[in-house]
């Protein structure tokens, strides 16, 4: 039985705490939804921020909502070189010891102490998908993308939850190296 | 016997005809060498140009010398999206039907009619390396890069010549997707 998963390409984006949202956009400010994402309850917000590294900045970084317990900027390695921040490859939420960054919004600025990562490629599995395919949470998978720039990624992290929808998340460097786009499919080969 | 090759990461760069060099830098102008490249006789020039797409521009694109029979801009897919040019994945020199671009130098401007590509990943083999490993010119190889972001690339083109030195060339998207840098090694696995 082929294990086929849809691919979603993550452009640079930021998650913010409610406190940081209020510093950046004003007291009591709530994010507004631009469009829903593949994971239930998650959305791209209308709001964007400026992020400033030592060598450059990005002017319109999309905020993903809802608010989270810790602010986190997810960029590609290409982005990291471009703005001059040494972001390590990390699973979302594992930000101990990662570098910080300056975030600017219309109402103020936040000096993030840590939270800049290059997101480790991963697949979200609903518990039922994972059970059907015999895949465990945190298992490292090999996943093939086909086509002209076909390749097989090692170390794709399985993340299993009742609240997840089946979706493989790669960043823009990975998508561009594979010639892939959101809506393509990939095959778990090992 | 393991088939191990050194990896070279190609940042965006441009090759120019002598005619285009003179339009951009002045009549009779000759490129000057900044540093030699891995392939014998090839060099990074001190000179850079501006390239302008429909959505953006790159201000300092390095020229690689010596002058060539056709001008050719090699960018990553990330770059292609950034400046708004639909560059296809192509082997160097195969530029029929590719898009053009505006190039600006200190002495003038060139409207390139065609020549913007995303370089297809490839390995340069000296004829003796290829013979030793039973690899033919234009053969498509699978090549593995290890590490945290380890992956295996399909469709790596073998290019064999007496004038080549053993080196695998990938672009910045591919290097960043693999967490690789110039000087790393890769293994031909198939």
pLDDT tens, N- to C-terminus, chain A (190 residues) = 799 999 999 999 999 999 999 999 999 999 999 999 989 999 999 999 999 999 999 999 999 999 999 999 999 999 999 999 999 999 999 999 999 999 999 999 999 999 999 999 999 999 999 999 999 999 999 999 999 999 999 999 999 999 999 999 999 999 999 999 999 999 999 9
Contact A20, A49 (CB under 8 A): no
Mutation choice for A interface testing from B11, B56, B60, B77 by most A CBs within 10 A: B77
* ipTM, two decimals: 0.91
What are the tokens at B101? 């671009």
Give residue limits of the domains in chain B.
Answer: 11-119, 121-188
Q: Using CA atoms, how far apart are residues A49 and A105, in angstroms rounded to an integer? A: 5
Cβ of B155 and A150 within 8 Å?
A: yes
Instruction: Tell me the chain A residues in contact with residue B155 when contact means C-beta distances shorter than 8 Å.
Output: 148-150
Tell me the whole-structure pTM to 2 decimals: 0.93
Q: Collect all residues from B whose CB is shorter than 8 A from any CB in A.
A: 76-78, 81, 89, 121, 148-155, 172-174, 176-179
Quick check: A177 and B179 CB within 8 A?
no
Provide the Cα torsion A74, A76, A82, A83; round to 10°.
Answer: 10
Residue B128 CB-density burial (10 A; 0-12 exposed, 13-18 middle, 19+ buried): exposed
* Residue A56 CB neighbour total at 10 angstroms: 13
**Nearest by Cα to B125 from B113, B110, B141, B109:** B141
* Contact pairs from chain A to chain B, CB under 8 Å: 62
| Locus of tokens 């590294």 | A53
For residue B178, the chain A residues in CB contact (below 8 A) are 177
Element (H, E) at A130: helix A127-133
Within 10 A of B28 (CB to CB), how many other CB atoms are there?
Answer: 8
Cα B168 to Cα B152: distance, rounded to the nearest angstrom:
13
Contact B148 A89 (CB under 8 A): yes
């Amino acid at each position: 039985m082929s294990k086929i998963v849809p691919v979603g390409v993550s452009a640079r984006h930021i998650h913010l705490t409610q406190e940081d949202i209020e510093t950046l956009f004003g007291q009591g400010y709530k994010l507004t939804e631009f469009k829903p994402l593949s994971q239930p309850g998650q959305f791209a917000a209308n709001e964007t921020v400026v992020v400033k590294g030592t060598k450059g900045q990005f002017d319109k970084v999309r905020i993903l909502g809802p608010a989270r317990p810790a602010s986190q900027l997810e960029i590609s390695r290409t982005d990291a070189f471009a703005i001059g921040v040494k972001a390590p490859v990390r699973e979302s939420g594992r930000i101990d010891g990662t570098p910080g960054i300056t975030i600017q919004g219309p109402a103020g600025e936040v000096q993030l102490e840590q939270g800049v990562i290059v997101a480790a490629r991963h697949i979200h599995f609903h518990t039922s998908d994972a059970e059907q395919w015999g895949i465990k949470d945190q298992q490292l998978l090999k996943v093939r993308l086909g086509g002209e720039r076909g390749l097989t990624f090692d170390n794709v992290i399985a993340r299993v939850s009742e609240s997840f929808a089946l979706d493989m998340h790669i960043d823009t460097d990975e998508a561009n190296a594979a010639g892939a786009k959101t809506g393509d499919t990939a095959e778990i080969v090992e």
